[in-house]
């Protein structure tokens, strides 16, 4: 689409459509001088976006003023303003369909206005929660911000407005595991192992940072059926907890609740996660929960009694895993490390941690350091973001929208690298397969000759 021009009366200065500004008409201005006022909503904290930095620039006849601020057309468009008034946009993000709803919040799919990346936006209505519970959501943000694992959604940005809290996260694609198993029935043991390895790895990452999830269940695990990759989501009940810390709040879903939640006023949070892992494993393996009841009273009794039906086809290794995770005594229950070392998971290929979403160009991890430089260069070349503004935004953390753009770009570059590795791996496997097939075919065509060295009698 060719640029639309706006000619000034008696002045041949042309403003292209992507100019972010307004001409101030003033009779005192000398011919060929134009004053421009910046009217952007400043969502990027100023990233090289002042026009002339208070310097006067004289434009002569037929001079063209072209500013690289194309987003302004969107910010000032009728469509953008309508989205804002309708509550369908917050800062850089257009809010689309709703994908989840809870007691205090709902989750929508968001789209970043610049990168067009899809994200998950958790919206918390402040009116629905007590003031003293605001810290719970800020704790969730701190915990998500500290995690960098491929099976845990990454935190991108946090926006605090007068009426809402917005937590912008990586979007988990697929469907929740509850629906997946309900539709498929009990999963094959190989698939159970593949999925369980990922969940265990995510929980190990959390526990290594003294974070307990406290709401592990099939509803909070999103699986992509095509890649069979999972994401552990919903950290609303998560808490910081070491081995000596006790919690007092009942958390989680009753069918996954450990017996100590019903019998004690205080409990250690990490063993509660292990019990939930045992229930999750049983659900994937059998298609039903290990403990059930027609009422809450019966369910509590079944959990506290601790008896469950062992599947007939279960191997001794499966039985050991269930016995270790569903142990009534939290002190004797498996730790996450013992789960990883159990016989059923022997020789498991656990996912490595993802790169930390750092902005430190001197980061001790050279892989992170390399990605930081690549991200900086990409933002400078593609969006004209200055290094100083980017560093200032990163120092402010996830409350700054430029940090969100940085993290999306960082993750996008990582994904491209992963895709290249995967494609190369596929090509390599294909080349090996073709070579082996060719050798076999050549062998079939070649006439067999008797050995001159030995004869088999």
Q: Could you confirm whether 273 is annotated as catalytic?
A: no
Closest CA to 399 of 115, 87, 166, 72: 166
Look up residue 166 and give its two tokens: 């917005």
Tell which wins on pLDDT, 449 or 140: 140
Interval 279-296 mean pLDDT: 96
Residues 412-440 have pLDDT tens digits of 999 887 655 555 554 555 555 565 565 55
Interval 121-148 mean pLDDT: 86
* pLDDT at 454 (0 to 100): 42
How much of the chain exceeds pLDDT 90, in percent? 59
Q: Active-site residue among 215, 234, 273, 400?
A: 215
Encode burial over 42-72: b for 16+ CB neighbours within 10 A, e otherwise.
ebbbbbbbebeeeeeeebeeeeeeebebebb
Average pLDDT of the chain, as a whole number: 81
Flag whether 122 is marked binding: yes
Asked if 251 and 310 count as a contact pair (C-beta separation under 8 A), the reply is: no
Residues 176-232 have pLDDT tens digits of 999 999 999 999 999 999 999 999 999 999 999 999 999 999 999 999 999 999 999
Collapsed DSSP state (helix, strand, coil) of residue 221? strand
Residues 66-88 have pLDDT tens digits of 444 455 556 667 777 777 777 88
* Domain extent listing, the chain: 1-76, 85-170, 175-345, 366-442
CATH topology (fold) of 85-170: Phosphorylase Kinase; domain 1 (3.30.200)
How much of the chain exceeds pLDDT 70, in percent? 74
User: Is a pLDDT exceeding 80 seen at residue 23?
Assistant: no
What global pTM score does this model have? 0.76
Q: Which CATH architecture has domain 175-345?
A: Orthogonal Bundle (1.10)
- Cα–Cα distance for residue pair 117/170, rounded to 1 Å: 10
Residues 377-399 have pLDDT tens digits of 999 999 999 999 999 999 999 99
């Amino acid at each position: 689409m060719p640029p639309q021009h706006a000619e000034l009366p008696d002045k041949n200065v042309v403003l292209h459509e992507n100019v972010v500004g307004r001409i101030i008409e003033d009779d005192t201005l000398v011919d060929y001088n134009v004053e421009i006022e910046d009217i952007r909503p400043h969502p990027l904290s100023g990233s090289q976006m002042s026009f002339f930095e208070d310097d006067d620039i004289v434009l002569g006849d037929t001079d063209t003023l072209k500013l690289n601020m194309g987003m302004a057309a969107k910010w000032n468009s009728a469509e953008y303003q309508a989205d804002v008034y309708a509550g369908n946009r917050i800062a850089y993000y257009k809010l689309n369909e709703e994908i989840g709803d809870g007691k205090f919040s709902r989750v929508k799919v968001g789209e970043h206005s610049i990168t067009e990346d899809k994200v998950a936006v958790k919206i918390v209505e402040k009116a629905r929660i007590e003031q003293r519970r605001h810290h719970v959501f800020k704790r969730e943000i701190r915990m998500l911000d500290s995690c960098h694992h491929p099976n845990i959604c990454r935190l991108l940005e946090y926006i605090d407005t007068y009426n809402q809290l917005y937590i912008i996260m990586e979007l988990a694609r697929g469907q929740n595991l509850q629906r997946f198993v309900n539709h498929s029935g009990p999963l094959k043991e190989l698939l159970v192992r593949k999925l369980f390895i990922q969940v265990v790895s995510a929980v190990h990452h959390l526990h290594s940072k003294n974070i307990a999830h406290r709401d592990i269940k099939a509803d909070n695990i999103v699986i992509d059926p095509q890649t069979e990759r999972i994401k552990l989501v919903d950290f609303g009940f998560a808490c910081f907890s070491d081995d000596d810390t006790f919690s007092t709040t009942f958390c989680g879903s009753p069918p996954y609740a450990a017996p100590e939640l019903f019998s004690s006023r205080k409990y250690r949070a990490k063993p509660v996660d292990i019990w939930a892992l045992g229930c999750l494993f049983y659900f994937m393996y059998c298609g039903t929960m290990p403990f059930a009841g027609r009422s809450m009273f019966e369910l509590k009794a079944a959990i506290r009694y601790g008896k469950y039906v062992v599947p007939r086809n279960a191997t001794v290794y499966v039985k050991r895993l269930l016995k270790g995770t569903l142990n009534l005594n939290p002190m004797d229950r498996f730790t996450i490390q013992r789960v990883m070392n159990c016989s059923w998971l022997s020789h498991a290929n656990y996912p490595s941690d993802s790169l930390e979403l750092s902005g430190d160009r001197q980061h001790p991890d050279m892989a992170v350091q390399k990605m930081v430089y690549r991200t900086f260069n990409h933002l400078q070349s593609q969006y004209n973001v200055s290094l100083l503004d980017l560093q200032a935004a990163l120092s402010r953390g996830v409350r700054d929208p430029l940090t969100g753009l940085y993290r999306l770009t960082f993750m996008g570059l990582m994904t491209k690298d992963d895709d290249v590795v995967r494609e190369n791996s596929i090509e390599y496997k294909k080349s090996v397969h073709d070579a082996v097939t060719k050798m076999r075919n050549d062998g079939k065509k070649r006439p067999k000759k008797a050995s001159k060295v030995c004869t088999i009698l």
